[in-house]
Amino acid sequence: MKLLNFKGRQQKMLRLYLLCAIFLQFVHLPTPATASIRTCDTISIRQIHKNYRLQLRTSKQEIKKSFSENNPYSYAKYRSLLGEEREKLKYGRDSLLDIAINAKYMENLTNYRSSWSRLIPSYSKIQIAGGIGTVATGPGWDYGGKNQWETDLLIGYLPKYESQEWKITLTLKQNYIPWSIKIGTGRFEFTPLTCGIYGCFVIGGDFWLKEPLRYPDRSYYRFPTKIRGHIFLGERITLNIKPGSSRAHKSISFYYEICTNDLALMSICTNKYLTFRDATSLAFGLKFQIF
């Protein structure tokens, strides 16, 4: 008797969950509790032990100069003083080891938190049109020396129009902003060029990555209908909000983009009746910078 019988989507989700679990086991993100033990600075700890042995050797030589081992009373006192000196040096060594381990632990803890803080989105976007749905929204991350690179993760809504049901789209978008021009006192900024690429994935059974069997000629559709690749050029203007004026956003940007996809480019190259206007679309959006 089978207690668990996963089929279809449930089986795919279970496989995805298992792959994620395996990945998290091997990804290099140590927990704070074990970071100090695994990645402690072994060089400094070895130096502390080396200094302890050197000081103990020096103390032993100094005590030997004051007492003769041939005299039983002097030898007993020598052993007593040597034991006291060893305990003092041990106490100092253990204190230094605690400081070194705690310092390394705090450093690893800071790096651990910093690694996870990079996953916090630095802005959010809302976009209309552009081949990713009637409206799409989602978080984003900017990075680079001047934050010239941006990565968006957008989820879009596509009405049913003449189809039977509405659809959801997922978009991964990469933006590049070469430079920006400050206007006046810097309250406004104008970006004369933004460019990038993005891929849009449509969730729905009417779309496919591989042609269904109902098409006798498997090369009839040479492009999958479930995913589209896009390129775009655009501009944007940014309003920098005064510090303290808003609790949620650092700046707000309005942008527009002229975009096209792989299928449209292929069509315009093979069909002389199509124009550049037929192969492009216009998108508008707002970017809300958080930090």
CA dist., res. 79 & res. 64, Å (int) = 10
Same domain, 271 and 150: yes
* Structural domain boundaries, residue 94: 32-117
Q: What is the pTM of this model?
A: 0.65
Q: End of a domain among 64, 82, 117?
A: 117
pLDDT in tens, the chain (291 residues): 343 444 555 566 666 766 665 555 444 444 444 444 444 455 577 788 788 888 888 887 777 777 655 555 566 777 777 788 888 888 888 888 778 777 777 887 788 788 788 888 999 999 999 999 999 999 999 999 889 999 999 999 988 877 788 889 999 999 999 999 999 888 999 999 999 999 999 987 677 777 766 666 656 566 777 889 999 999 999 999 988 777 788 999 999 999 999 888 888 888 888 888 888 999 999 999 998
CA dist., res. 121 & res. 184, Å (int) = 29
Same domain, 69 and 194: no
H-helix segments, the chain? 9-26, 32-38, 42-66, 72-117, 262-270
Same domain, 254 and 152: yes
In a domain, residue 238? The reply is yes
Same domain, 217 and 249: yes
Q: Which helix (H) or strand (E) holds 180?
A: none
* pLDDT value of residue 2: 41
* pLDDT value of residue 238: 96
Q: End of a domain among 117, 152, 186?
A: 117
Same domain, 134 and 275: yes
Same domain, 65 and 86: yes
Same domain, 135 and 195: yes
CB 139 within 8 A of CB 150: no
Q: End of a domain among 85, 117, 149?
A: 117
From the list 233, 231, 234, the residue with the least C-alpha distance to 254 is 234
* pLDDT value of residue 216: 63
CA dist., res. 11 & res. 262, Å (int) = 32
